[in-house]
Amino acid sequence: MKVEHSIEIAAPPEKIWPLITERENILQWHTEAQTLDFIGEQHSGVGATFYMVGKSDGRLIKSVCEITEWQENKKFAFHETLGMTKKFDASYTIEATETGSRLTTAWDTVMPYWIIGSIMLLFLRKQWVKMSDQMMANIKSLAET
């Protein structure tokens, strides 16, 4: 399942970048995240790994993710290396515009258990789109203050 969402933000990329890459800021806008901690000494850049605990449908979701792309003020991407999905890739892309920036998030998720996982995604899609919309609105609000 792929989810993509863009939002116009009246702020330059340099103001949005720390919101999507720094732990304290992520915990302010991420609707499901309860904790986020880096594993090891590296806290930024390709190869850095982090552990995140979140809540979804009342259940705790734990995952380990690795940063796969890091282009300062442009693109931040990661994939889940350990968690509940068979595949989860996410990216945040910032493009400068005449009025500020356009932030685009894209998620690509595959659940385990073949057909059962596909059915699960059908039920989760509406919830995940709503969650993505809310997170983007939260980032916009933080960036524009």
Beta-bridge mates of residue 4? 106
- Let me know: does 72 contact 92? Beta carbons within 8 Å: no
Q: DSSP 3-state helix, strand, coil percentages of the chain (rounded to 5)?
A: 30, 45, 20
* Domain map (residue ranges) of the chain: 2-144
Instruction: Specify the pTM.
Output: 0.88
Q: pLDDT tens digits, residue range 48-82?
A: 999 999 887 677 889 999 999 999 999 999 999 98
Tell me what pLDDT residue 102 has.
98
Burial class from Cβ neighbours inside 10 Å (0-12, 13-18, 19+) for residue 112 reads exposed
pLDDT tens by residue, the chain, 145 residues: 888 999 999 999 999 999 999 999 999 999 889 999 999 999 999 999 999 998 876 778 899 999 999 999 999 999 999 887 888 999 999 999 999 999 999 999 887 777 876 777 677 778 778 888 999 999 999 999 9
Tokens of 48: 């850095």
Ordered alpha helix ranges (H), the chain: 13-21, 23-29, 114-144
Tell me what pLDDT residue 1 has.
80
Question: Regarding the domain with residue range 2-144, which homologous superfamily does it belong to in the CATH classification?
Answer: START domain (3.30.530.20)
Distance, in Å, from the CA atom of 91 to the CA atom of 49, rounded to the nearest integer, reads 15
CA pseudo-torsion sign 18, 22, 27, 31: positive
